[in-house]
Each structure stands twice: as structure tokens, then as C-alpha cells.
Structure 1
Amino acid sequence: MLLRPAVVLTSLLLTAGPAAAKVVSVRPPASGGSAGASVEVDRAAPVDRSAGRPLAGKVIVLDPGHQLGNSRFPRQINTLVSAGPSRKPCNTTGTATNAGYPEATFVWKVALAARRQLEAQGAQVLFTRGTNSRSQWGPCVDVRGRAGNSEGADAKVSIHADGSHARGARGFHVIAPASVRGWTDDIAAPSRSLALAMRGGLGTGGFPRANYIAGGDGLDFRSDLGTLNLSDVPTVMVELGNMRNAAEARRMTRRAGQAAYARALVAGLGRFLG
């Protein structure tokens, strides 16, 4: 039996009353494609920008890259889907530390911690996957790329970690969409601003810029990623560090380290949306 990806967008809003009302619906996957979803976000409630809630009224999409079960569904994740001007496999398995701690689990825990912090500041946070499960796969990059478009999200961050085997490779880098006519030319400029803000947040958080990619400045611009190309809202992909680096692996697998990465992401979003 073909298993479908989990619910694609999950919205968890802490405020009570009518403002919390929302609808999550999942469409069946088209042949050779992936499941889609839509979320109706009620923004009619008064915006509270009082002290401690600087992100009230903002809608943020967090995309915890991959799904823990992707490796168990090779046919599904190797199916070609739209990546904008080209087609690419639905997804990949992600990487892991040398000891086998999965990227999917690391980014899931960072996303959960970031969501708690963002909601405490008043933001509404949407996820592109609702579980971290070995029995599920996806969603595909086309679904991830379009996530937040119909909701008019203010920003979208795809959270990843790298798996470079280069000697001494360590550090983060932020990937923003290059300007591709008809695809990302409308979001390239604000996405670059978001990338700069995320680089600043991670730098202030004490994380070093990658020394093995992106020219050492922590910024990369790509035109081949469906997660970026299909977005209509400002978006970036953040590679938080190299899971094959022993020191970074220790930080990534510990709760305190995951919380620190989350704080850095939230700080970057605050710079962009503040």
C-alpha cells in the first residue's frame, strides 16, 4: 500500500477564541506527485504588539527538512516532481552524524524548540510535516516549496544540516533563492534580506560560518532547489552545521545545543520581521 505523507501544514496557535480557528485539509497525491495541503489562517483578531510579543500577527512557516522514514520509501522519494524550472526527486534521506543520529531528528527538535519560542513572541507557526516518524515519508520538495503561499506567510525557513566529509569542515551557511525570471524574481530581494538576518542571528548565537562552502561568508544563492523556487513568500534554507564534524555533532545531539540553534533562528527571524 502506498503510504501518504503526514499532514503537510500543522498550525498550533496558543491564543484562545476565534483567532485560533483554522482549517487544515490534505489533498490526495496526484499520480507521481505528492500530497498537498491548505490552511486558512484567521488574521481578523487585533494584533497585540505589546512588550514580549513583537511577532504578534506574523505567520511563519518552518520546514524541518526530510522525514525520518524517507529511506524506507525509495520509490516515493525518488519520484520526480517540479522544482520550478526543472524537475527533481521528491526528497532525500538526509544525512546523519558519524554515530548515526539522523538529520531528520535533529531538525525536528530544533523546529519544535523554535516554534515554542516564536509562539511565545506572538507568531503563528506552520510546519511542513506533523511528525518525525520512520513509518512516513515526504512531503516532497514541491509541497514544501509551496507551503505558506496561500496563507500569505511572512517568512519561511527550511531547516537542515550538512554532511560534508571534507577534512575540518564545519559551520553554517544560509541558502537563498537566486533570481529566476518567472519563478523567484519577485521574492529574491526579500529572501536575500531574510538570509542576511538569519546569518546575523546565527552569528550572534556564536555559530561559525561554514569554512568549506559558500566562499566562507555563510551565504549561498541557488536556482535549482524546489523548496526555494516554488515559494511566493520570502524564504531561505539554513544548513545549521556539519553533522560529520565531531564537535558540531555533539552540540546537535544535545538538548541544550538544539535549543541554542533554535534561539539563533528565532533571533534571525526577529531581525527580519521586527
Structure 2
Amino acid sequence: MSYTGPGFDPPAPRRFRRGALTVALAALVPGALLGWAVYAAVDGPGGGGGSATASASAPSGAPSSSTAPPSGGPGGPGDKKPGASPTTGSPSATASAPGASGPLAGKVVVIDPGHNPGNFRHAAEINRRVDVGTHRKECDTTGTSTNDGYTEAEFTLDVAHRMRALLEERGATVKLTQDADRPFGPCVDERARIGNRAKADAVVSLHADGSGAGNRGFHVILPGAVHAGAADTRAVVGPSRALGERIAGHFVRVTGSAPSNYVGGGTGLVTREDLGGLNLSTVPKVFVECGNMRDSKDAALLTSGAWRQKAAQGISDGVVSFLRGPGSAG
């Protein structure tokens, strides 16, 4: 999708002191302080999410340009890179073996890497419209890319692999909606169904934005209350917000990135009712826009293997904190 993040891997990122950030957020959007208050009060400094650094499960070298960049311009909101439920090939939901032990033993986490690397070769398939409850929209999109051609699809898969390793270490069973193991997709409606069928305890859809230069920072997209057609999010709005707040707090702590300076009023939290991946989910689910691929400073972060490991750690720590319940340190 389209989002940003601070300068980090070359040059060293600005570190935001949580105290100053909390004051700024209070001045900007008092009503949105709930998420940050939860982080400060529940996770606290240095608390939460098993900060033990885990080794990456994917290479951390320079970005590969072997995958052709997406055909569109900057990726707009769309369905935060929905997925395509292809007419050819079987639905993909690669899963780890159930975790034998650890604090998340018995928990199921679904990671949804936005946009399949093969989508750009299947324009007709991903452009077909699917029902997202409130309306019909494209099955999926190609996603965005940096100006140098590092694609959102490559980014999301890399972070998904790193998250899978971190969460499996904590005992979770982890499923991916796709692992570049199908020609395209899945479509946004099928992505939602994968999490629903898995009876996931948490679902995280990974993205990066394609906004204008100068727009920086991450944001977490939460489902709004939707009850129309096949969509009924009313039961998961609350748990999804709690999941999003935990992820946002830990993302700041681990990456040093600031909340988006162009959406969310400085809170890092955005509610939407037009995304099929959220509208059709019957389990707690959020989208994470990790940064803006079209901003050079954010792009430097997103193309850094070291920073992607931090992003994976921050998101995973938020998931762990959410799954362990109120008052848990992660």
C-alpha cells in the first residue's frame, strides 16, 4: 500500500522518546490515545513481546530487482494489496507445524503478505471483481515499489518469513496466505477466508505504502463496524483494535519509526470500512503499512534487511502481547 517510516539503516534513525511521543499524541488526537496508553501502561518501557532478537529466516542482503516492478504507479489505498483467488491453482495457505511449547503454544497466527510477486503477470485475473460485503472491488493489485524497483510483494514476503520464525520460536502455529507458491493472489476475499478457516487468534496483513515523497511513517489499519452483505465485523472490531494498538506501540519501540505524518492524525491508527480483507474477517485482523516506498528515506529503511528484521520483531512483539492478554509484558 502506501506508507512511510523514519530514516534508519543508513543513516541512523531518529529515536523517538516514548515520553515525548505520548505528549505529542495527546496534543494531536486525545481520543486516539487509547492505543498508546495501552502500550505505556500495559507493555511499558522495555516490556513486551519477547524482545530477544531472533535470527532472520530470510536473507537480509540488498533488495533483489529480479521481480518486475508493479505496473501501476504509487499504490493507493486499494484493498491494501488484496489477493487474488485464482481460477487456476489451489488456494495457498502454507502453515508451520504446531508449536510444541512456548507462551503461544496452541495459538494460531495467520500472516498475510500483501500482493503476490506474480500478480503483475496476471492482470486479467487480479482485475476481476469480488464481493467484499459493502461493494465489489478488484481481486488484488500488483502493489507498489521503490523508485529503484524493490517491490512491495518482495518486501511483504521477506517480513512474513522473519515474523514466522519469531512467532514459531514462541510456540505459535503460523500460516501464510501465500508464499509465492501460486501464480497470483489469493484474492482479498479468499485471504480473509484463510484466516477465518484457520480460526486464527490473530491475523496480520503486511504492506508498504506508495504515497508521495515526504510522506513518512507507519500506520496500522483497523476494521470499522460493518454489517452489510457477507460482511459483519461487529464482533471483531474491539479485539482488532486491541491487536492494532499493541502492534503500533511495539513497532515504535523496536524500529524507532514514527507514526505516519499523513494519515491517522499522528496516532499510527486508521479505521477503514472499504477493505475486503478486513470486512470479511471473522477473527481479529489488522493491516500494517510499514512505510512509504516512494519516499527516499523510508525506502532506505524498507530495503534494509536489518530494518526489516526490526519491523518483523516489532510486529511480532505486538502480536505476542495481544495474545498473552491484558497486563502481559509480551
TM-score by length of 1: 0.82
Query: In the alignment, residue 112 of structure 1 is paired with which amino acid?
Result: H
**Unpaired segments ≥5 residues, structure 1:** 17-47
Q: Which of 151, 169, 190 is matched with 2:198 structurally?
A: 151
Indicate the structure with greater strand content: 1
Q: Which residue of the partner structure matches residue 180 of structure 1?
A: 226
2:151 matches 1:102: yes
> 1:132, 1:256 → 2: CA distance?
25
Structure 1 residue 15: Cα displacement: 5.2
Q: Which amino acid aligns with 1:187?
A: V
Tell me which of the two structures has the higher relative contact order, counting C-alpha pairs closer than 8 angstroms and 6 or more residues apart: 2
CA shift at 1:132, angstroms? 6.5
The answer to whether the aligner puts 1:218 opposite 2:268 as a matched pair is yes
The reply to whether residue 66 of structure 1 matches residue 112 of structure 2 is no
Q: Is the 8 A contact 2:98 2:172 kept in 1?
A: no
- Deviation, 1:151, is 2.1
| 3-state SS of 1:174 partner | strand
Shift of 1:6: 6.0
Which of 70, 88, 91 is the equivalent residue of 1:4?
88
2:245 corresponds to which of 191, 196, 214: 196
Following the alignment from structure 1 to structure 2, what is the Cα–Cα distance between the partners of residues 68 and 131? Answer: 6
Give the match for residue 85 of structure 1: 134
TM-score by length of 2: 0.68
Q: CA deviation at 1:161?
A: 0.3
Task: Choose the corresponding residue for 1:164, options 206, 211, 215.
Answer: 211
Q: Alignment RMSD, CA only?
A: 1.7
Gaps of 5+ in 2: 1-85, 325-330
- Classify the secondary structure of the residue corresponding to 1:149: helix
Q: What is the distance in 2 between the residues matched to 1:6 and 1:203? A: 38
Shift in Å at residue 145 of structure 1?
A: 1.4
- What is aligned with 2:172? 123
Identity %: 46
* 1:193 CA displacement: 0.7
